[in-house]
Amino acid sequence: MSPASLVRSVAAHGLPGASCDWPDKPMDNLTWEQLFTAVRQQRLAGLLVACVADGALPATPAQRQQASQLHFDRSCGVLQLESAALSAVDTLEAADIGVRILKGSATANLDYTDPALRLFVDVDLLVRSRDIDAAMDLLVRSGHSRHAIQPRRGFDRRFGKGATLTSDAGQELDLHRTFVMGPFGLRIVLDDLWAGSSSFTLGGRKVQALDPECRFLHACYHTALGDLRPRLVPQRDIAQMLLFGQLDLQRVDGLMRSWRAEPVVARAVRMTWESFGLSDATALSTWAQRYRATPRELSDLAVYTDPASSSYTAMSVAALGALPSLRDKAAFASALVLPRRGFVPDDGLPHGGRWRRAAQTALARVRQRP
């Protein structure tokens, strides 16, 4: 029973049909420490304490105490983050900027019977494209600092995923206008994210999140595209929503096709079912198993998932292909080739360098098209 198998079992705890691999007695200290490290890295403290409390994972008193302490510490962090999220929401809504709380707090409160099971380490907020510059300015004036400037004014509003800020108390806040950067983020029909909403109460205040179908799709984007080594928490979110939620699968299908997100959803759901060894098939999991991405889709996925292919340059060139008009392509490429002073792309290369040459090549291709 490896630590990898144990941590997957922790992440899958409570899912019907999950293949969980539990020891029949408490682990030795070395194995426990390996599991504990993995749980900490994967942010699964909530599910770890549940496994121990439910008797699924035998533990010594010391191991039980260690798990409880980790959950306590992380839960304190969650309260600080929710307080920060409410302050940011207050700031934006006072200026008539619509906002949705994404992932973390929204998923914990809306998709889990006990929010204590689902921990998170940052705040994610969504605003409309037209509001992102104003939202950014307001948050900076209220004490947040922005990690990186946009290549040119207007880039965030037209092309970007958003930006990361840090509050004066040190909490990270990701302000989004779409789910991910690059081609799959650009293809999302952003008006769809504002067509409906779910609400929940936080600190006595009603706040808004995405509707269930958009929350599910966001979890798919996060799983399939969010990290080179996919995390278990968004996979658990997918399983939680599909197996316990009340998703309108017809709407999920419609949105997915409209956004050309089939390869994203298929990868995410297939990965989730494989990670947790889920035996319960749903219509969507059956479809995901059978889905075969086209070469173009595989190429677009690779800029997010393949270490050899993923770079800011590759992401930018792939994004060009997703932009609808030549005017957009030219504006996008120009912003990256000739950004304003101080802009540094996410791969850390300064003004000039490999990414710039690739963007210049891409811009030349755009200009050559009849």
Partner 1 sequence: MIAQGEVLARDTAVLWRRSAGTLLLKRRDCPAIIYLDETALALWEELDRPRTVEELALRLGDRYSAPADVVLADLLPVVDELERRRLVNRRHA
Chain contacts with partner 1 (rule: CB under 8 A) = 49, 53, 68, 71-72, 75-76, 78-80, 82-83, 86-87, 114-116, 169, 202-205
Residue 56 φ/ψ, nearest 5 degrees? -70, -40
Q: Is the sign of the CA dihedral 338, 308, 269, 122 positive or negative? A: negative
Contact 214, 347 (CB under 8 A): no
Q: Which two tokens stand for residue 291?
A: 């889905």
Residue 53: CB minimum distance to partner 1, A: 8
As measured in angstroms, the least distance from the Cβ of 71 to partner 1 is 5
Nearer to partner 1, 75 or 129 (CB): 75
As a whole number of angstroms, the distance between CA 96 and CA 327 comes to 31
Residue among 53 and 121 whose Cβ is closer to partner 1? 53
Tokens 């299908």 belong to: 253
Q: Which residues 6+ apart lie within 8 Å of 43 measured at CB? A: 74, 119, 120, 121, 231, 233
Number of H helices, E strands in the chain: 17, 7
CB of 125 to partner 1, least distance (A): 17
Cβ distance to partner 1 smaller for residue 49 or 255:
49
Residue 310: name the closest of 177, 189, 183 by CA: 183
Which of 83, 166 has the CB closer to partner 1? 83
CB of 84 to partner 1, least distance (A): 10
Task: Report, in Å, the least distance between residue 52 CB and partner 1.
Answer: 9
Would you say 205 or 357 has its CB closer to partner 1? 205
